[in-house]
A and B are shown apart, each in its own frame.
Chain A
């Protein structure tokens, strides 16, 4: 990718993240949860990014499996790592909210359970890439595809199972119900996606360079 565009995204991301805390601090306090509700501005975008990364990883894994394009594997691998990272952010910020809101750190609620399962699947993906040896790229691609297939279960389960997690309708209705919170929320979401894009591009570039080094190494070895 053009380095200027990349640098542009990087600067935008840094500026947006620098402004985000000010924006969040100025947002109105939620009446029952108070200060702790402000976790929402990082918690929800973190899950948005995690789900997007899972989606990208699953789709590009399928492309790699069926079209054998190495670039698809690099994108899938990069997205899987980012999915795990943002999943960890979601899993850390979630219990902080839950402790105040529900009185417990963790509940075996449908959405929490399924989010944890997704996180586990992508941790397994990384373990497979790390310890699977030669050929683990294809196996990992199969696993990511199965991970993606688990995503509908996450959403269906929320609507069918009884759950104490705030419903999916909270975010779409935010603009009407709490306009003061909607602005910072959108700001943080865009910031997270810019960060996601920058990280994804950096990670893909790293994989490309690693593949190139391997190729050159093989050439040298063959003499």
Chain B
């Protein structure tokens, strides 16, 4: 078990180190999500007043879109110089490699979402800052579920021809329950009269989703990555 966490930690550290040298994934994802939010603000903010409840949906759409963009290159780097084969041949548990990749993606997504949350709060006058703990918890749970499924699918598709097209096609239907829970939970928190009981329910649903899909992803990573 200790070895599992060590490997996961090393894989995550490697990914973050590679990222810190180029900032490729963070900068492109951030730019894309900011563009998304701006486009939505042109459509949904009229005369300085946003459509009621739009902020929750826009926040999670930005999370989903930027998350998909971030997941694309996760295993792409490993394709060069047969690094993926090397990684899979390493005498370590493959699920630990998956866990490391997953944690890296969750961290990068969270980093980008700091800016997205602030931007949505600013443009849509949403009380995200006043409910920062609720929004933060919902986003972290949502990120984790989204990234658990996404990392597995990105890994599965790494040897496929049309991976760029297939990733969102496979990913969105599976993570839709998590996105619905995220949107509804956020909506329950930011509405004029917040309903924290409802938010707690959506949060538990997200947690339930995370546990099931992270377990399944850990379980299936080994057989799907076997050549």
Contact of B91 with A by CB under 8 A? no
- Check A223 for interface membership: any CB of B closer than 8 A: no
- Considering only CB atoms, which chain A residue lies closest to B225 in the complex? A138
Cβ of B75 within 8 Å of any chain A Cβ, yes or no, is no
A139 touches B157 (CB 8 A): yes
When chains A and B are docked, how far (Å) is the Cα of A114 from the Cα of B224?
A: 26
With a CB–CB cut-off of 8 A, which chain B residues contact A113? 180
User: In the complex, how many residues of chain B place their beta carbon closer than 8 angstroms to a beta carbon of chain A?
Assistant: 29
| Given A146-B174, A149-B213, A153-B209, residue A133 in contact with residue B160 (CB < 8 A) | yes
In this complex, which of A65, A120, A132 has the most chain B Cβ atoms within 10 angstroms of its Cβ?
A132
CA–CA, A7 to B140, complex, Å?
55
Q: Which of B199-218 contact A (CB under 8 A)?
A: 201, 205, 209, 212-213, 216
Which residues of A have CB within 8 Å of B176?
Answer: 117, 120
Cα–Cα distance between A141 and B152 once the two chains are bound (Å): 13
Q: Is there contact, CB below 8 Å, between B177 and A139? A: no
Indicate if the CB atoms of A147 and B174 lie closer than 8 Å.
yes
Could you tell me the distance between the alpha carbons of A149 and B209 in the complex, rounded to whole angstroms?
A: 9
Determine whether A37 belongs to the interface, using a CB cutoff of 8 Å to chain B: no
Query: Residue A34 at the B interface, CB < 8 A?
Result: no
B156 close to A142 (CB less than 8 A): yes
Q: Which of A128, A138, A146, A150 is the one whose CB lies under 8 Å from B166?
A: A128
Interface of A (DSSP majority class): helix
A210→B212 CA distance, assembly (Å): 36
Residue A5 is within 8 A (CB to CB) of chain B in the complex: no
Instruction: Tell whether, in the assembled complex, residue A135 and residue B166 are in contact, meaning their CB atoms are under 8 Å apart.
Output: no
Given contacts A135-B159, A135-B160, A153-B209, contact A145 B220 (CB under 8 A): yes
A/B interface sample: 15 pairs, CB < 8 A:
A65-B223, A113-B180, A114-B177, A117-B176, A123-B173, A124-B169, A124-B173, A132-B162, A142-B152, A142-B153, A142-B220, A145-B216, A146-B149, A149-B216, A150-B174
Binding site for A on B (CB under 8 A): 149, 152-153, 156-157, 159-162, 165-166, 169-170, 172-174, 176-177, 180, 201, 205, 209, 212-213, 216, 220, 223-224, 226
Which 5 A-B pairs have CB atoms at the shortest separation, nearest pair first? A120-B173, A65-B223, A121-B173, A139-B156, A133-B161
A positions within 8 Å CB-CB of B: 65-66, 113-114, 117, 120-121, 123-124, 127-128, 131-133, 135-136, 138-139, 141-143, 145-147, 149-150, 152-153, 157, 160
